[in-house]
Amino acid sequence: MKIIVFGATGNTGRRVLASGVKMGHEMTAFVRNPEKLIEQQGEQIAGQVKIAAQNILDPQSVYHALSHQDVAIIAAGSVANGEEFIRIVDNIVTQCEDHPQFSGRVWVMGGAGLLEIPYTQIMGNDLPGIPPMFKYHSDNWNRLRRTKLDWSFMCPGTMVDGAEYERPGLLQVSADILPIPFPESTKDLSEAELSGLLFSRLHEIDVAYEDVADVMLSHLELSGPFKGKRVGVAYRNDVIE
């Protein structure tokens, strides 16, 4: 497939780019600094990638780069960028919506705070004590909910370098809820208690960048199982293949 990665030199984007090349996809990297991409990937992988070195906030540049692409993976920006993060995502999504030569499959990077705690229908981002900047993920999710694009929102916990991380179990992927087990009694907890419980278990949703990239690259089809879903990932020792 033809896949464009926005933010292709970031921690997630560069893993998506490298994995996509190895899988045989036609990869385009939308970046500010082509030299950084070559330094990260090496000549062998970088030589197989089309590079668009443009301003990600410029509508025409993004629109042009989307021509004839099958999938857009938005791994650019972060909550630390504040309002600019929202503008980046909104600009790319808008150009995807308006482009007659874009097929319409979109992955956007978010955070685990967008996932609901089992038995509660309450998102982590809505609990007390959550850093205010993570609400930018909620703003981006609300933007996606208004579009007719075929989108999925990747919502991992803390991501780590897979080369230095010993996976504690098999990878489990969830839709809309946290991918770790909670007792049914969780529904009886107050929001303050839920917040404390969530913070105490955040280490259970640590995940390797490489595994996050592979989940997205394994679900590129239109109208797939994660269409319109927030996607969680975690390692589970009790999962049976």
The confidence score (pLDDT) of residue 28 equals: 98
Reported as a pLDDT band with limits 50, 70 and 90, residue 103 is: confident
Residue for token pair 């208690």? 193
Reported as a pLDDT band with limits 50, 70 and 90, residue 236 is: confident
The confidence score (pLDDT) of residue 241 equals: 40
Residue 61 burial by Cβ neighbours in a 10 Å radius (0-12, 13-18, 19+): middle
Reported as a pLDDT band with limits 50, 70 and 90, residue 188 is: very high
DSSP state of 96: H
Cβ-count burial 201-218 (b if 16+ within 10 Å, e if not): eeebbbbbbbbbbbbbbe
Report H helices in 68-151: 83-98, 135-145
The confidence score (pLDDT) of residue 238 equals: 65
- Mean pLDDT for 112-136 is 95
Reported as a pLDDT band with limits 50, 70 and 90, residue 237 is: confident
- Mean pLDDT for 71-79 is 96
Over pLDDT 70: what percentage of the chain? Answer: 98
Q: Which amino acid is at 3?
A: I
- Mean pLDDT for 73-89 is 96
Contact between residue 122 and residue 190 where contact means Cβ atoms under 8 Å apart: no
- Mean pLDDT for 17-36 is 96
Q: What angle do CA 227, 48, 66 make, to 5 degrees?
A: 40
The confidence score (pLDDT) of residue 240 equals: 42
Contact between residue 50 and residue 38 where contact means Cβ atoms under 8 Å apart: no
Which of 170, 163, 173 is CA-nearest to residue 112? 173
Separation CA 7–CA 98 (nearest Å): 21
Model confidence over 32-50: pLDDT tens digits?
A: 999 999 999 998 899 999 9
pLDDT higher than 50, residue 201: yes
Separation CA 151–CA 65 (nearest Å): 18
Which of 5, 16, 15, 148 is CA-nearest to residue 69? 5
Cβ-count burial 8-46 (b if 16+ within 10 Å, e if not): bbbebbbbbbbbbbeeebbbbbbbeebeebbebbeeebb
Mean pLDDT for the chain? 95
Separation CA 24–CA 184 (nearest Å): 44
